[in-house]
Amino acid sequence: MKRESIDQKYLWDLTDLFVSDEAWETALTELKEASKAFQLYKGRLLESRETLRSALETYENLSRKLMNLVTYARLKMDENTKESKYQGMVSRSEKLATEIQKENAFFIPELLEGDEKTIEALLNHEDLSHYKKYFSDLLRKKPHILSEEMESVLARVGELGDAPSNAYGMLLNADMTFEEAVDAQGEGHALTNGSYVPLLMSKDRSLRKDAFEKYYKVYEGHINTLSSLLQSEVNKNIFFSKMRNFSSAREAALFENNIPVTVPDRLIEAVNNNLESFYKYMELRKKVLGLDELHLYDIYTPIVSGVDFPITYDEAGTMVTDALAPLGKEYQEGIRSAFSQRWIDVYETEGKRSGAYSAGTYDSRPYVLLNHKDDMNSMFTLAHELGHSMHSYLTRQNQPYVYGNYSIFVAEVASTTNEALLNDYLLKTVEDKEKRKYILNHYLEQFRGTIFRQTMFAEFERDIHQRVEQGGALTNEFLCDHYLKLNKKYFGPDVVIDDQIKYEWSRIPHMYYNFYVYQYATGFSAAIALSDQILKEGKPAVDRFLEFLSSGSSDYPIDILRKAGADMETKDPVSNAMKVFKEGVEELEKLMS
């Protein structure tokens, strides 16, 4: 489908970023000049209240303008990834970002060189008082921030640190080729990194098995290179953690958002303590599929299929809006704004980036990229991305720029809460038994993919970093053997753990995200806890949730979530999510009988 053929109401409106590409070019030139002027503050940041205020405001202004430039270029490129013009604009804006970072490397170290009493006195003035949390956080980081010269060196080394991830991406996306997967009728199907999971969802078991075996055969053939790349990535994480005086790579990664290192451990412990309910789900899958043996190539194919559940985009918008009624009229009005003010780029078009996301800047509306199909999965994707967008929208309405964003640790909470409320709405309004089974199975699959799978990844990531920090090496034998053991533990006795799965770690790009994956599971668990409170408590829980959405980074994420009703330093939210999962499995089992 050509983009030009789409009704304008289904295309996002980027004019609050830039009215044209020419306006973007002008802003890029102006920012280059403005960034040089910031050097005038060097050595003077704490000389007076006026100078400090001016420097902070100028620094923020540079950051805001830069984010507008980068975001506009990326969004335009994602409209058509084949368009070289926007590829160039992305490259130029990101290069400018690197230059500004290098030029302004003095800023944070100079602030931290100041006497704490002097800083405190300056912040006591009304026009600077809202920076108190910002400076408190800076001072917390002081032991881990280096001299201006060393910060500049690390900024340059950081570019080299991207090499393992970049090489990994090129190997997967450009160099790997796969044999066709053959179905039961002998017909070939293109096998790629993108088609692999869809093929595993096929009803044709011969096709699933052939795709599984041929897919991992290619990874096996590259396993020495893939092991070396992951070893380099782990070494990089450990190097930067040591340079910044942390005791471990995990402590360094979690320190930025002040997340206790016990949080991912609590997650892993809570999930490990509740694997029996997951085993029961696998047992139900085996029974429903009528298999003597349930293999790992059988876990993606739907156990509820053949359900006709067409939902147009406009219908999905109405249903999502109605489903979010428990969050109040103002929240619903925000959702309606997403449709009326063209936050959303709806349909797949030629060259458009795949998938879905929510993006934007402090100065723009939130933007949502979709590739909508008229089905239930797309409706849940819409609800999910609107959750992100409303989180951004309410944060920017209620927080100054310095706190106008939120951490990755809480990023999935709003989106998953929306999905949980949509799931509840559907189960309360849909009477057809087959559709109810379909909805419930969809919900349980989210648990499988988000809590159980991501926690297994988090456990693997924790273990491989600890091994290197304790003097061990990440040989391909260790990586494969350890990953195989984790699969056996997580899937339990009713699943045949095919030997090829030991190579799966090498196809997971999140292993290059530096302790990122656990946050999918903690965020999902928190969302299940909060949505449960919203539905049972009503207004008190809603008020806490809206306060959470409006808080941005004005407090640490662990504290913001605790105030909302989910204390992630305990096992309670994860254990509660496990209880909800168990009840869902039992309900689906009854519906299937």
Residue-level pLDDT at 472: 96
Q: Which CATH class is domain 179-241+267-305+451-512?
A: mainly alpha
202-260 per-position pLDDT tens digit: 999 999 999 999 999 999 999 999 999 999 999 999 999 999 999 999 999 999 899 99
Residue-level pLDDT at 133: 94
Q: State phi, psi for 495 to the nearest 5 degrees.
A: -120, 130
Beta bridge partners of 367: 359
Beta bridge partners of 357: 369
Number of continuous H segments (helices) and E segments (strands) in the chain: 25, 7
* Integer Cα distance of 63 and 100 in angstroms: 9
Domain 313-438+522-592 has CATH 3.40.1190.20: no
- Say how many CA atoms lie within 13 Å of 316 toward its Cβ: 23
pLDDT profile of the chain (593 residues), mean per 10 = 93 97 97 92 94 95 97 96 93 93 88 88 91 92 86 82 90 91 97 93 97 98 97 96 96 94 95 96 96 97 84 97 98 97 96 93 97 93 97 98 95 95 95 91 94 97 98 96 98 96 96 94 95 96 98 96 96 93 94 88
* Integer Cα distance of 105 and 297 in angstroms: 50
Residue-level pLDDT at 267: 96
Residues 503 and 220: beta-carbon distance below 8 Å: yes
Residue-level pLDDT at 174: 82
Residues 189 and 183: beta-carbon distance below 8 Å: yes
DSSP codes of every residue in 457-505: HHHHHHHHHHHHHTT----HHHHHHHHHHHHHHHH-TTEE--GGGGGGG
**In a 3-state reduction of DSSP, which class is residue 189?**
strand
180 is catalytic: no
* CA proximity to 565, closest of 552, 549, 581, 579: 549
Q: Which CATH class is domain 3-163?
A: mainly alpha
* Integer Cα distance of 51 and 47 in angstroms: 7
* Integer Cα distance of 175 and 485 in angstroms: 29
What are the b/e assignments for 358-383, b being 16+ CB within 10 Å?
A: bbbbbebbbbbbbbbeeebebbbbbb
The two three-digit tokens of residue 511, written as one number: 């292993």
Selected catalytic residue, list 233, 385, 419, 459: 385
Residue-level pLDDT at 148: 77
The two three-digit tokens of residue 466, written as one number: 């600890």
Residue-level pLDDT at 59: 95
* Integer Cα distance of 186 and 182 in angstroms: 6
The two three-digit tokens of residue 513, written as one number: 């995200």
The one-letter amino acid at 540: P
CA-derived radius of gyration, the chain: 25
Phi-psi region of 492 (alpha: psi -120 to 50; beta: other; left: phi over 0): left
* Integer Cα distance of 19 and 537 in angstroms: 45
* Integer Cα distance of 576 and 583 in angstroms: 11
Task: Say if 3-163 and 179-241+267-305+451-512 have the same CATH topology.
Answer: no
Residue 525: how many other CB atoms lie within 10 Å: 31
List the domain boundaries for the chain.
3-163, 179-241+267-305+451-512, 313-438+522-592
* CA proximity to 16, closest of 338, 356, 367: 367
- Say how many CA atoms lie within 13 Å of 55 toward its Cβ: 21
Residues 6+ apart with CB under 8 A from 245: 143, 144
Residues 6+ apart with CB under 8 A from 340: none
Query: In 251-337, where do the E strands start and end?
Result: 294-295
Residues 6+ apart with CB under 8 A from 503: 216, 219, 220, 223, 480
What are the b/e assignments for 262-295, b being 16+ CB within 10 Å?
A: ebbbbbbebbeebbebbbbbbbbbbebeeeeebb
* Integer Cα distance of 280 and 241 in angstroms: 41
Using the 8-state DSSP alphabet, how is residue 75 labeled?
H
442-475 per-position pLDDT tens digit: 999 999 999 999 999 999 999 999 999 999 999 9
Biggest alpha carbon distance in the chain?
79
